[in-house]
Amino acid sequence: MPEGPSIAILREELEPFAEQKVISATGNAKIDFTRLKGEKIIEFKSWGKHFLICFNNFFIRIHLLMFGTYRINERKETEPRLSLKLKKTEINFYTCSVRLIEGDPNETYDWKTDLMSDQWDAKKVESLVKKLKNTKVCDALLNQDVFSGSGNIIKNEVLFRIKLHPECEIQFLPAQKLKELVKDAHQYSLDFYRWKKAFELKKHWQIYKKKECPRCKIKSVTAYLGKTGRLTCYCSNCQFLYKKGKIKNNEEH
């Protein structure tokens, strides 16, 4: 599933086509395509894992789900969920969720939680994280209302970078460690974006889908943890588990 940084890159790819009119709109999505014909695209926006095509008083929300793709000026053999023809451009989206939503996206989305937004607000995110209390950090990092745009790669890599066990509950995190969690989720998202644009993201993975911890040189743990049940890779030695104010094995960090 594409994470926030990848959706931000998609937005940048399509920004040159803003302010153009839709000549035709087709596809197998269950929306009113006639609503789009002749409408001018005001702008393209992204919030978390949502890609937004904004028109006057309404917008199209696209979620690429697990296997969604898009093509610019080319087509796949399968029928697109949404195909937009502009003056000299065709944009096609496949295997994704497409919704037409009335209103202004600024009234729908909180940009302060979007990890890729210039309006991202660490203090607000910290306050939202604190409310999760008995939630495990592996689930908290996938909560789109708190860490908008975070996905499984960001989850695993952030927890490894800050030496935090994925099964820690938010309520047991020291204040400084909670701040570190929030700060690094944002910083890693920016790093992800930079590496993705340079086509070198996988080269920088430290723990995600790795057989060995690069710090401890021992076998890493792979499990499906938390209520989300997503793949989790971590080191049982250097990622610490806080419990009721203590750290597992009484190790200092």
Residues 171-201 pLDDT 10s? 999 999 999 999 999 999 999 999 999 999 9
102-110: list long-range contacts, CB under 8 Å, 24+ apart: 102/57, 102/58, 103/57, 103/58, 103/59, 104/57, 104/59, 105/45, 105/47, 105/52, 105/54, 105/59, 109/47, 109/50, 110/148
What are the residue ranges in the chain where pLDDT is below 50? 249-253
Q: How confident is the model at residue 244, as a pLDDT?
A: 78
Which pLDDT score, from 0 to 100, does residue 206 have? 98
Tell me the fold of 4-108.
Answer: N-terminal domain of MutM-like DNA repair proteins (3.20.190)
Whether 119 and 112 have beta carbons less than 8 Å apart is answered as yes
Output the pLDDT for position 249: 43
Tokens 């943890």, residue located: 225
For domain 111-250, say whether CATH 1.10.8.50 is its number.
yes
Residue 8 identity (one-letter amino acid)? A
Output the pTM of the full model: 0.92
